[in-house]
Structure 1
Amino acid sequence: MSFILSLQNISKSFTGKQVLNRVCLDIEEGKFVTILGPSGSGKTTILKIITGVENSDEGQVLFKGNDITELEPQERRIPMVWQNLALFPHLDVEKNIIFGLKLRSLGDDEIKSKLVTMLDLLSISHLRGRDIHSLSGGERQRVALARAIILNEPIILLDEPFTGLDYDTAAKIQLELKKVQRELSITILMVTHHQYEASVLSDKIAILHEGIIQQYGTPQDIATNPKNTFVENFVKKADIFFHPEDGQARRRADG
Protein backbone atom coordinates (compact mmCIF):
# COMPACT_ATOMS: atom_id res chain seq x y z
CA MET A 1 0.00 0.00 0.00
CA SER A 2 1.36 3.42 -0.99
CA PHE A 3 1.25 6.18 1.63
CA ILE A 4 1.83 9.67 0.31
CA LEU A 5 1.99 11.14 3.82
CA SER A 6 2.82 9.52 7.14
CA LEU A 7 2.93 11.02 10.60
CA GLN A 8 5.01 8.97 13.00
CA ASN A 9 4.65 9.59 16.73
CA ILE A 10 4.13 13.35 16.41
CA SER A 11 4.00 15.17 19.75
CA LYS A 12 3.72 18.88 20.48
CA SER A 13 3.34 20.99 23.62
CA PHE A 14 2.73 24.71 24.10
CA THR A 15 3.72 26.35 27.42
CA GLY A 16 3.68 23.02 29.19
CA LYS A 17 0.34 21.82 27.78
CA GLN A 18 0.50 18.80 25.50
CA VAL A 19 -1.50 19.45 22.33
CA LEU A 20 -0.51 16.34 20.36
CA ASN A 21 0.43 13.02 21.93
CA ARG A 22 2.34 10.60 19.67
CA VAL A 23 0.01 11.01 16.70
CA CYS A 24 0.41 8.37 13.99
CA LEU A 25 -1.45 8.66 10.69
CA ASP A 26 -0.90 7.05 7.27
CA ILE A 27 -2.61 8.65 4.27
CA GLU A 28 -3.03 6.74 1.03
CA GLU A 29 -2.36 8.47 -2.26
CA GLY A 30 -5.44 9.81 -4.03
CA LYS A 31 -7.70 9.65 -0.98
CA PHE A 32 -9.74 12.33 0.78
CA VAL A 33 -8.87 12.11 4.48
CA THR A 34 -10.31 14.26 7.25
CA ILE A 35 -9.03 14.90 10.74
CA LEU A 36 -12.23 15.45 12.70
CA GLY A 37 -12.46 16.76 16.23
CA PRO A 38 -13.78 19.49 18.51
CA SER A 39 -12.14 22.89 18.82
CA GLY A 40 -8.84 22.76 20.66
CA SER A 41 -8.16 19.11 19.85
CA GLY A 42 -4.94 19.87 17.92
CA LYS A 43 -6.22 19.58 14.35
CA THR A 44 -4.68 22.75 12.91
CA THR A 45 -1.43 22.11 14.78
CA ILE A 46 -1.05 18.89 12.79
CA LEU A 47 -1.36 20.82 9.52
CA LYS A 48 1.17 23.39 10.69
CA ILE A 49 3.64 20.64 11.53
CA ILE A 50 3.13 18.98 8.14
CA THR A 51 3.79 22.26 6.31
CA GLY A 52 6.70 23.22 8.56
CA VAL A 53 5.08 26.30 10.04
CA GLU A 54 5.42 24.63 13.45
CA ASN A 55 8.06 22.14 14.57
CA SER A 56 7.05 19.01 16.45
CA ASP A 57 8.69 18.18 19.78
CA GLU A 58 9.21 14.63 18.59
CA GLY A 59 8.26 12.36 15.71
CA GLN A 60 8.68 12.37 11.95
CA VAL A 61 6.76 13.61 8.91
CA LEU A 62 7.26 11.46 5.81
CA PHE A 63 6.15 12.77 2.40
CA LYS A 64 6.33 10.35 -0.52
CA GLY A 65 8.58 8.17 1.61
CA ASN A 66 11.06 10.94 2.39
CA ASP A 67 11.64 12.41 5.84
CA ILE A 68 10.76 16.12 5.58
CA THR A 69 10.71 16.81 9.32
CA GLU A 70 13.69 19.18 9.19
CA LEU A 71 12.88 20.88 5.87
CA GLU A 72 11.86 24.54 5.64
CA PRO A 73 8.22 25.19 4.60
CA GLN A 74 9.15 26.33 1.08
CA GLU A 75 11.13 23.13 0.53
CA ARG A 76 8.18 20.86 1.33
CA ARG A 77 5.98 21.96 -1.60
CA ILE A 78 2.74 21.11 0.22
CA PRO A 79 -0.01 23.65 -0.60
CA MET A 80 -2.44 24.61 2.14
CA VAL A 81 -5.68 26.57 2.21
CA TRP A 82 -5.86 28.27 5.60
CA GLN A 83 -9.12 28.91 7.41
CA ASN A 84 -8.80 32.66 6.74
CA LEU A 85 -7.85 31.82 3.11
CA ALA A 86 -4.83 34.20 3.24
CA LEU A 87 -5.66 35.79 -0.11
CA PHE A 88 -3.70 38.91 -1.03
CA PRO A 89 -6.12 41.88 -0.87
CA HIS A 90 -3.91 44.07 -3.09
CA LEU A 91 -3.94 41.53 -5.94
CA ASP A 92 -6.85 40.63 -8.22
CA VAL A 93 -8.17 37.10 -8.65
CA GLU A 94 -5.82 36.19 -11.50
CA LYS A 95 -2.71 37.41 -9.70
CA ASN A 96 -3.73 35.60 -6.50
CA ILE A 97 -4.16 32.31 -8.32
CA ILE A 98 -0.86 32.45 -10.23
CA PHE A 99 1.19 33.84 -7.34
CA GLY A 100 2.79 30.49 -6.51
CA LEU A 101 3.51 29.73 -10.17
CA LYS A 102 5.35 33.04 -10.52
CA LEU A 103 7.64 32.00 -7.66
CA ARG A 104 8.52 28.88 -9.64
CA SER A 105 9.73 30.95 -12.59
CA LEU A 106 7.50 29.32 -15.18
CA GLY A 107 7.12 30.91 -18.61
CA ASP A 108 4.22 33.28 -19.27
CA ASP A 109 2.58 30.95 -21.80
CA GLU A 110 2.66 28.00 -19.41
CA ILE A 111 1.26 30.10 -16.57
CA LYS A 112 -1.54 31.41 -18.78
CA SER A 113 -2.45 27.89 -19.92
CA LYS A 114 -2.58 26.60 -16.34
CA LEU A 115 -4.63 29.62 -15.26
CA VAL A 116 -7.26 29.16 -17.96
CA THR A 117 -7.57 25.47 -17.11
CA MET A 118 -7.99 26.21 -13.41
CA LEU A 119 -10.53 28.99 -13.95
CA ASP A 120 -12.63 26.62 -16.06
CA LEU A 121 -12.23 23.73 -13.63
CA LEU A 122 -13.64 25.73 -10.72
CA SER A 123 -16.11 27.75 -12.82
CA ILE A 124 -14.58 31.12 -11.90
CA SER A 125 -13.52 32.46 -15.31
CA HIS A 126 -15.90 35.39 -14.82
CA LEU A 127 -13.99 36.43 -11.68
CA ARG A 128 -10.59 36.67 -13.36
CA GLY A 129 -10.09 40.44 -13.11
CA ARG A 130 -12.07 41.06 -9.93
CA ASP A 131 -10.65 42.55 -6.74
CA ILE A 132 -10.62 40.18 -3.78
CA HIS A 133 -12.65 42.55 -1.57
CA SER A 134 -15.52 42.45 -4.09
CA LEU A 135 -15.97 38.67 -3.87
CA SER A 136 -18.50 36.71 -1.84
CA GLY A 137 -17.34 34.15 0.71
CA GLY A 138 -17.94 31.29 -1.70
CA GLU A 139 -16.08 33.03 -4.50
CA ARG A 140 -13.10 33.67 -2.24
CA GLN A 141 -13.07 30.02 -1.25
CA ARG A 142 -12.95 28.94 -4.89
CA VAL A 143 -10.07 31.35 -5.57
CA ALA A 144 -8.13 29.97 -2.60
CA LEU A 145 -8.70 26.41 -3.79
CA ALA A 146 -7.61 27.35 -7.31
CA ARG A 147 -4.40 28.91 -5.97
CA ALA A 148 -3.56 25.65 -4.20
CA ILE A 149 -4.61 23.21 -6.94
CA ILE A 150 -2.84 25.07 -9.76
CA LEU A 151 0.54 24.21 -8.22
CA ASN A 152 -0.05 20.63 -9.38
CA GLU A 153 1.24 19.02 -6.21
CA PRO A 154 -0.05 15.54 -5.26
CA ILE A 155 -1.52 16.67 -1.93
CA ILE A 156 -3.44 19.69 -0.60
CA LEU A 157 -4.17 20.56 3.03
CA LEU A 158 -7.43 22.29 4.00
CA ASP A 159 -8.03 24.00 7.35
CA GLU A 160 -11.77 24.25 8.15
CA PRO A 161 -12.42 25.24 4.52
CA PHE A 162 -16.17 25.80 4.74
CA THR A 163 -16.34 27.83 7.94
CA GLY A 164 -18.42 30.98 7.55
CA LEU A 165 -20.24 29.83 4.41
CA ASP A 166 -24.00 29.37 4.34
CA TYR A 167 -25.25 25.80 4.00
CA ASP A 168 -26.15 25.95 0.29
CA THR A 169 -22.86 27.59 -0.73
CA ALA A 170 -20.82 25.16 1.37
CA ALA A 171 -22.68 22.15 -0.04
CA LYS A 172 -22.10 23.30 -3.62
CA ILE A 173 -18.37 23.89 -3.11
CA GLN A 174 -18.05 20.53 -1.36
CA LEU A 175 -19.49 18.78 -4.42
CA GLU A 176 -17.17 20.73 -6.72
CA LEU A 177 -14.15 19.97 -4.56
CA LYS A 178 -14.89 16.24 -4.48
CA LYS A 179 -15.34 16.22 -8.27
CA VAL A 180 -12.02 18.02 -8.83
CA GLN A 181 -10.25 15.75 -6.36
CA ARG A 182 -11.42 12.65 -8.20
CA GLU A 183 -10.69 14.06 -11.67
CA LEU A 184 -7.14 15.08 -10.78
CA SER A 185 -6.45 12.19 -8.36
CA ILE A 186 -5.28 14.64 -5.70
CA THR A 187 -4.80 13.58 -2.10
CA ILE A 188 -6.63 15.92 0.26
CA LEU A 189 -6.11 16.19 4.00
CA MET A 190 -8.79 18.35 5.62
CA VAL A 191 -9.41 19.30 9.23
CA THR A 192 -12.87 20.19 10.49
CA HIS A 193 -15.08 20.04 13.57
CA HIS A 194 -18.16 19.37 11.40
CA GLN A 195 -19.13 15.68 11.57
CA TYR A 196 -21.55 15.58 8.64
CA GLU A 197 -19.17 17.52 6.39
CA ALA A 198 -16.43 14.98 7.11
CA SER A 199 -18.76 12.04 6.52
CA VAL A 200 -19.96 13.09 3.08
CA LEU A 201 -16.53 14.08 1.72
CA SER A 202 -14.06 11.64 3.21
CA ASP A 203 -12.74 8.25 2.23
CA LYS A 204 -11.32 7.96 5.75
CA ILE A 205 -11.68 9.97 8.95
CA ALA A 206 -9.27 10.30 11.87
CA ILE A 207 -11.09 11.39 15.01
CA LEU A 208 -8.84 13.53 17.20
CA HIS A 209 -9.52 14.34 20.84
CA GLU A 210 -7.14 15.80 23.40
CA GLY A 211 -4.23 15.34 21.02
CA ILE A 212 -4.81 11.62 20.45
CA ILE A 213 -6.21 9.82 17.39
CA GLN A 214 -9.22 8.04 18.89
CA GLN A 215 -10.18 6.14 15.74
CA TYR A 216 -9.16 6.03 12.07
CA GLY A 217 -11.35 4.41 9.46
CA THR A 218 -14.07 4.88 6.88
CA PRO A 219 -17.01 7.10 7.83
CA GLN A 220 -19.30 4.08 7.85
CA ASP A 221 -17.00 2.05 10.10
CA ILE A 222 -16.71 4.91 12.59
CA ALA A 223 -20.46 5.56 12.62
CA THR A 224 -21.41 1.91 13.03
CA ASN A 225 -18.47 0.61 15.09
CA PRO A 226 -17.17 3.40 17.34
CA LYS A 227 -14.12 2.33 19.34
CA ASN A 228 -14.87 4.24 22.53
CA THR A 229 -17.45 6.39 24.28
CA PHE A 230 -16.03 9.68 23.03
CA VAL A 231 -16.24 8.58 19.38
CA GLU A 232 -19.75 7.23 19.88
CA ASN A 233 -21.03 10.45 21.46
CA PHE A 234 -19.19 12.73 19.03
CA VAL A 235 -20.59 10.97 15.97
CA LYS A 236 -24.06 10.77 17.52
CA LYS A 237 -24.18 14.58 17.74
CA ALA A 238 -24.25 14.76 13.95
CA ASP A 239 -27.20 12.34 13.84
CA ILE A 240 -25.73 10.55 10.83
CA PHE A 241 -26.71 7.17 9.48
CA PHE A 242 -25.55 5.23 6.42
CA HIS A 243 -28.01 4.07 3.80
CA PRO A 244 -27.72 0.27 3.45
CA GLU A 245 -28.04 0.32 -0.35
CA ASP A 246 -25.19 2.71 -1.18
CA GLY A 247 -23.34 3.29 2.09
CA GLN A 248 -23.66 7.05 1.73
CA ALA A 249 -24.06 9.37 4.69
CA ARG A 250 -27.48 10.85 5.35
CA ARG A 251 -28.89 13.04 8.08
CA ARG A 252 -31.60 11.15 9.94
CA ALA A 253 -34.05 13.91 9.14
CA ASP A 254 -33.49 13.08 5.47
CA GLY A 255 -34.09 9.39 5.91
Structure 2
Amino acid sequence: MRRSSVKLVLASSLPLALTACSAPEDTYTVSKRSNYTTVQACVDDKVPVDVCSDAYMQALADHRRIAPTYGDQAACEADFVPDYCQVTSDGRYMPRLGGFELAVSGEVSQSQVDAARAQVENSGQASSGGSNFNGLLTGLLLGQVLSGGNRQYYSQPVYQYRDSSGGYRNSTLGQQIDQGKRFERSDQAQQSGGSYGSYYSGSSSGRNYKSSTSTRSSVSSSISRGGFGSQATARSGWGGKSSGGFSFGG
Protein backbone atom coordinates (compact mmCIF):
# COMPACT_ATOMS: atom_id res chain seq x y z
CA MET A 1 0.00 0.00 0.00
CA ARG A 2 2.84 2.39 0.80
CA ARG A 3 4.55 1.84 -2.61
CA SER A 4 1.28 2.37 -4.46
CA SER A 5 0.64 5.55 -2.52
CA VAL A 6 4.02 6.98 -3.51
CA LYS A 7 3.35 6.27 -7.20
CA LEU A 8 0.03 8.07 -7.06
CA VAL A 9 1.59 11.15 -5.49
CA LEU A 10 4.31 11.31 -8.13
CA ALA A 11 1.86 10.88 -10.98
CA SER A 12 -0.42 13.62 -9.72
CA SER A 13 2.47 16.08 -9.24
CA LEU A 14 4.01 15.58 -12.70
CA PRO A 15 1.66 17.89 -14.69
CA LEU A 16 2.21 20.65 -12.14
CA ALA A 17 5.97 20.30 -12.48
CA LEU A 18 5.79 20.49 -16.28
CA THR A 19 3.57 23.57 -16.15
CA ALA A 20 5.89 25.35 -13.75
CA CYS A 21 8.94 24.69 -15.93
CA SER A 22 7.42 25.85 -19.24
CA ALA A 23 8.60 29.34 -20.25
CA PRO A 24 5.99 31.98 -21.15
CA GLU A 25 5.63 32.68 -24.86
CA ASP A 26 7.34 35.78 -26.20
CA THR A 27 5.03 38.61 -27.23
CA TYR A 28 5.54 41.53 -29.61
CA THR A 29 3.92 44.93 -29.86
CA VAL A 30 2.92 45.79 -33.41
CA SER A 31 2.13 49.39 -34.33
CA LYS A 32 1.44 51.42 -37.44
CA ARG A 33 0.44 54.97 -38.42
CA SER A 34 -1.22 55.81 -41.73
CA ASN A 35 -2.92 58.83 -43.26
CA TYR A 36 -6.13 58.37 -45.28
CA THR A 37 -8.17 60.89 -47.21
CA THR A 38 -11.39 58.85 -47.07
CA VAL A 39 -12.94 55.87 -45.28
CA GLN A 40 -12.79 53.93 -48.55
CA ALA A 41 -9.04 54.52 -48.87
CA CYS A 42 -8.67 53.07 -45.38
CA VAL A 43 -10.79 50.01 -46.29
CA ASP A 44 -8.79 49.55 -49.50
CA ASP A 45 -5.70 49.27 -47.29
CA LYS A 46 -7.27 46.12 -45.80
CA VAL A 47 -8.26 47.76 -42.53
CA PRO A 48 -11.62 46.50 -41.14
CA VAL A 49 -14.46 48.78 -42.19
CA ASP A 50 -15.66 49.31 -38.61
CA VAL A 51 -12.20 50.57 -37.61
CA CYS A 52 -12.05 52.92 -40.62
CA SER A 53 -15.52 54.31 -39.96
CA ASP A 54 -14.88 54.80 -36.26
CA ALA A 55 -11.51 56.43 -36.95
CA TYR A 56 -13.13 58.87 -39.36
CA MET A 57 -15.85 59.77 -36.85
CA GLN A 58 -13.23 60.32 -34.12
CA ALA A 59 -11.25 62.60 -36.43
CA LEU A 60 -14.37 64.51 -37.47
CA ALA A 61 -15.34 65.13 -33.85
CA ASP A 62 -11.84 66.37 -33.02
CA HIS A 63 -11.80 68.53 -36.15
CA ARG A 64 -14.92 70.35 -35.02
CA ARG A 65 -13.40 70.83 -31.57
CA ILE A 66 -9.77 71.81 -32.23
CA ALA A 67 -9.48 73.13 -35.81
CA PRO A 68 -8.21 76.74 -35.83
CA THR A 69 -10.75 79.41 -36.80
CA TYR A 70 -10.13 82.78 -38.43
CA GLY A 71 -11.85 86.11 -38.89
CA ASP A 72 -11.41 86.13 -42.67
CA GLN A 73 -10.81 83.66 -45.45
CA ALA A 74 -7.43 85.05 -46.50
CA ALA A 75 -5.96 84.53 -43.03
CA CYS A 76 -7.19 80.95 -42.96
CA GLU A 77 -5.85 80.12 -46.41
CA ALA A 78 -2.48 81.67 -45.55
CA ASP A 79 -2.02 78.89 -42.97
CA PHE A 80 -3.35 76.16 -45.25
CA VAL A 81 -3.97 76.29 -49.04
CA PRO A 82 -6.13 78.41 -51.40
CA ASP A 83 -9.84 77.56 -51.64
CA TYR A 84 -9.50 75.23 -48.66
CA CYS A 85 -11.33 77.12 -45.91
CA GLN A 86 -15.07 77.18 -45.29
CA VAL A 87 -17.45 79.42 -43.37
CA THR A 88 -18.59 78.23 -39.93
CA SER A 89 -22.08 78.66 -38.49
CA ASP A 90 -20.95 81.79 -36.61
CA GLY A 91 -19.35 83.45 -39.64
CA ARG A 92 -15.73 82.50 -38.95
CA TYR A 93 -13.47 80.50 -41.30
CA MET A 94 -11.86 77.13 -40.68
CA PRO A 95 -9.99 74.56 -42.82
CA ARG A 96 -11.84 71.59 -44.22
CA LEU A 97 -11.10 68.15 -42.84
CA GLY A 98 -8.54 66.65 -45.24
CA GLY A 99 -8.58 63.10 -43.90
CA PHE A 100 -7.50 61.26 -40.79
CA GLU A 101 -4.44 59.63 -39.32
CA LEU A 102 -5.03 56.13 -37.96
CA ALA A 103 -2.63 54.73 -35.37
CA VAL A 104 -2.94 51.03 -34.54
CA SER A 105 -1.21 49.11 -31.76
CA GLY A 106 -1.57 45.63 -30.34
CA GLU A 107 0.24 42.49 -29.17
CA VAL A 108 0.97 39.28 -31.05
CA SER A 109 2.52 36.09 -29.74
CA GLN A 110 5.59 34.25 -30.96
CA SER A 111 3.36 31.54 -32.44
CA GLN A 112 1.46 34.18 -34.44
CA VAL A 113 4.77 35.60 -35.70
CA ASP A 114 5.94 32.13 -36.72
CA ALA A 115 2.65 31.35 -38.48
CA ALA A 116 2.69 34.66 -40.35
CA ARG A 117 6.32 34.14 -41.38
CA ALA A 118 5.48 30.68 -42.72
CA GLN A 119 2.49 32.07 -44.62
CA VAL A 120 4.64 34.70 -46.34
CA GLU A 121 7.36 32.16 -47.14
CA ASN A 122 4.83 29.71 -48.59
CA SER A 123 3.16 32.42 -50.67
CA GLY A 124 6.27 32.83 -52.81
CA GLN A 125 5.65 36.58 -53.05
CA ALA A 126 8.92 37.63 -51.42
CA SER A 127 12.33 36.24 -50.51
CA SER A 128 13.03 35.76 -46.83
CA GLY A 129 14.65 38.77 -45.17
CA GLY A 130 13.90 41.17 -48.03
CA SER A 131 12.07 44.45 -47.67
CA ASN A 132 8.95 43.17 -49.40
CA PHE A 133 9.00 40.11 -47.10
CA ASN A 134 9.06 42.42 -44.07
CA GLY A 135 6.20 44.49 -45.47
CA LEU A 136 4.03 41.42 -46.05
CA LEU A 137 4.87 40.02 -42.61
CA THR A 138 4.03 43.30 -40.90
CA GLY A 139 0.77 43.51 -42.83
CA LEU A 140 -0.31 40.04 -41.75
CA LEU A 141 0.48 40.72 -38.10
CA LEU A 142 -1.33 44.07 -38.14
CA GLY A 143 -4.30 42.33 -39.72
CA GLN A 144 -4.37 39.91 -36.80
CA VAL A 145 -4.16 42.78 -34.33
CA LEU A 146 -7.08 44.57 -35.97
CA SER A 147 -9.22 41.44 -36.11
CA GLY A 148 -8.47 40.43 -32.51
CA GLY A 149 -9.91 41.59 -29.23
CA ASN A 150 -6.71 43.28 -28.00
CA ARG A 151 -6.56 45.93 -30.71
CA GLN A 152 -5.96 49.55 -29.78
CA TYR A 153 -6.28 52.44 -32.16
CA TYR A 154 -6.94 56.15 -32.28
CA SER A 155 -7.26 58.76 -34.97
CA GLN A 156 -6.88 62.49 -35.41
CA PRO A 157 -7.76 64.94 -38.18
CA VAL A 158 -5.40 65.63 -41.09
CA TYR A 159 -5.18 68.89 -43.02
CA GLN A 160 -3.63 70.00 -46.28
CA TYR A 161 -0.98 72.69 -46.22
CA ARG A 162 1.81 74.05 -48.41
CA ASP A 163 5.35 73.14 -47.38
CA SER A 164 8.48 75.29 -47.67
CA SER A 165 9.13 74.07 -51.22
CA GLY A 166 5.65 75.10 -52.37
CA GLY A 167 4.25 71.58 -52.61
CA TYR A 168 1.03 70.34 -51.02
CA ARG A 169 1.20 67.94 -48.09
CA ASN A 170 -1.17 66.37 -45.57
CA SER A 171 -0.41 66.22 -41.86
CA THR A 172 -1.96 66.61 -38.44
CA LEU A 173 -1.99 69.91 -36.59
CA GLY A 174 0.34 68.41 -33.99
CA GLN A 175 2.91 67.55 -36.62
CA GLN A 176 2.79 71.08 -38.00
CA ILE A 177 3.19 72.55 -34.51
CA ASP A 178 6.17 70.25 -33.91
CA GLN A 179 7.72 71.70 -37.06
CA GLY A 180 7.37 75.24 -35.70
CA LYS A 181 4.07 76.43 -37.15
CA ARG A 182 2.23 78.84 -34.84
CA PHE A 183 -1.10 79.51 -36.62
CA GLU A 184 -0.75 83.00 -35.15
CA ARG A 185 -3.55 84.44 -37.32
CA SER A 186 -6.09 82.08 -35.75
CA ASP A 187 -8.63 83.12 -33.14
CA GLN A 188 -7.21 80.60 -30.67
CA ALA A 189 -3.66 81.93 -31.03
CA GLN A 190 -4.75 85.50 -30.46
CA GLN A 191 -6.70 84.47 -27.39
CA SER A 192 -3.75 82.55 -25.91
CA GLY A 193 -0.89 84.97 -26.44
CA GLY A 194 -0.02 84.50 -30.09
CA SER A 195 0.53 80.74 -30.30
CA TYR A 196 -2.01 78.12 -31.25
CA GLY A 197 0.23 75.41 -29.75
CA SER A 198 -0.72 76.12 -26.13
CA TYR A 199 -4.42 75.99 -26.99
CA TYR A 200 -3.92 72.79 -28.94
CA SER A 201 -2.01 71.07 -26.13
CA GLY A 202 -4.72 72.00 -23.66
CA SER A 203 -7.44 70.64 -25.94
CA SER A 204 -5.88 67.23 -26.64
CA SER A 205 -7.47 65.64 -23.53
CA GLY A 206 -4.25 63.85 -22.72
CA ARG A 207 -4.11 61.93 -25.99
CA ASN A 208 -0.78 61.57 -27.73
CA TYR A 209 -1.18 63.68 -30.85
CA LYS A 210 2.54 63.96 -31.56
CA SER A 211 3.92 61.56 -34.16
CA SER A 212 6.43 61.30 -36.93
CA THR A 213 5.14 62.41 -40.31
CA SER A 214 3.48 59.67 -42.37
CA THR A 215 1.50 59.74 -45.58
CA ARG A 216 -0.87 57.48 -47.45
CA SER A 217 1.94 55.98 -49.54
CA SER A 218 4.60 55.95 -46.83
CA VAL A 219 3.54 54.67 -43.43
CA SER A 220 5.55 53.96 -40.34
CA SER A 221 5.27 50.46 -38.92
CA SER A 222 7.10 48.94 -36.00
CA ILE A 223 7.34 45.65 -34.18
CA SER A 224 8.94 45.53 -30.75
CA ARG A 225 9.51 42.53 -28.55
CA GLY A 226 7.83 42.53 -25.16
CA GLY A 227 10.09 42.72 -22.13
CA PHE A 228 13.85 42.66 -22.63
CA GLY A 229 14.24 42.02 -26.32
CA SER A 230 14.80 43.65 -29.66
CA GLN A 231 12.92 46.40 -31.43
CA ALA A 232 12.96 47.22 -35.11
CA THR A 233 11.05 49.36 -37.52
CA ALA A 234 10.14 49.18 -41.17
CA ARG A 235 8.51 51.70 -43.47
CA SER A 236 5.91 49.78 -45.38
CA GLY A 237 2.34 49.49 -46.54
CA TRP A 238 -0.02 46.70 -45.64
CA GLY A 239 1.34 44.61 -48.46
CA GLY A 240 3.49 46.92 -50.53
CA LYS A 241 7.20 47.52 -50.84
CA SER A 242 9.19 48.78 -47.90
CA SER A 243 12.64 50.08 -47.24
CA GLY A 244 14.71 48.96 -44.29
CA GLY A 245 13.73 45.95 -42.26
CA PHE A 246 13.48 44.30 -38.88
CA SER A 247 14.31 41.04 -37.16
CA PHE A 248 12.60 39.45 -34.24
CA GLY A 249 15.67 38.43 -32.31
CA GLY A 250 15.83 35.21 -30.33
TM-score by length of 2: 0.23
Larger radius of gyration: 2
Flag the structure with higher strand content.
1
